Amino acid sequence: MLSTAQVYVYDINGQQRRCRVLLDPGSQSNLITAGLVQQLKLPTTKENVPISSINQVKTRVHLSTQIRLQSMYNDFSVMMSCLILPRITERLPQVRIQAKLNISEDIQLADPTYGIPGEIELLIGAGLFWSLLCMDQFKQERGQPTLCRTHLGWIIGGEMVSPTEQSERRACHLITNTQLHDQLEKFWRQRDVSETRIYLKQEQICEDFYRDTVRREAD
């Protein structure tokens, strides 16, 4: 289960709007959808930035913007520099989460609708992600996600087993065994690996005798 949050963002006139964000410590950049930029009427800056994802799939980004993000629960606020993409990812979660989580009523969830598929308009990358974390964690029973306190509220992430929806899950960015085998085979073919002959005892005696007694005459 991927961690999401709801936050306030501000348009060019300082008006507040709520949006849903994905927290991704595996991303080196913050991302925002072109649709949200247009709605907020944010100024943009020209860029020429190549970004790559799983399996070295590359995309070139031509615009960026600055956006102010505000927590729904406290006065935490930060300016983010974001690269602009037509779309960040599909709706998350991919399927509705039916499992009941043991969450205390006094816990303020960063995304109260974490179990309902919805659009992701903003992605928070590693640069900001680690600054959001607080030290508190709450681990549930096996097969259930972990809760972690952040400045945006408690986020939910990690393992999520839902047997009734197992068949509906979709897996992305996988390397199959066949692909891995082909890549390893190609790797070893490209390497210049010298082969060392391993001799049996009798073979080694003959080899040593030949090396010590046979000399090539100079012609």
CB count in 10 Å sphere of residue 101: 15
Residues 115 and 198 in one domain: no
Regarding whether 27 and 97 lie in a shared domain, the answer is yes
What is the number of other CB atoms lying within 10 angstroms of the CB of residue 62?
12
Overall domain count for the chain: 2
d(CA 150, CA 75): 13
> CB of 31 within 8 A of CB of 127?
no
Q: Is the pTM of this model over 0.85?
A: no
Are both 131 and 36 inside the same structural domain?
yes
Domain with 187 in it: 177-213
Q: How far is CA 12 from CA 27, 77, 83, 102, in A?
A: 26, 16, 17, 40
Residue at 101 is within a domain? yes
Q: Looking at the structure, tell me whether residues 35 and 138 fall in a common domain.
A: yes
Per-residue pLDDT of the chain (219 residues; tens, 9 = 90+): 899 999 999 999 999 999 999 999 989 999 999 999 999 999 999 999 888 877 777 888 999 999 999 999 999 999 999 999 999 999 999 889 877 788 888 899 999 999 999 999 999 999 999 999 998 887 777 778 899 999 999 999 988 776 444 444 443 333 233 343 455 566 656 655 444 454 455 656 666 666 666 565 655
219 found inside a domain: no
How many residues belong to the chain? 219
Q: Give me the half-sphere count of Cα atoms (radius 13 Å) on the Cβ side of residue 62.
A: 2
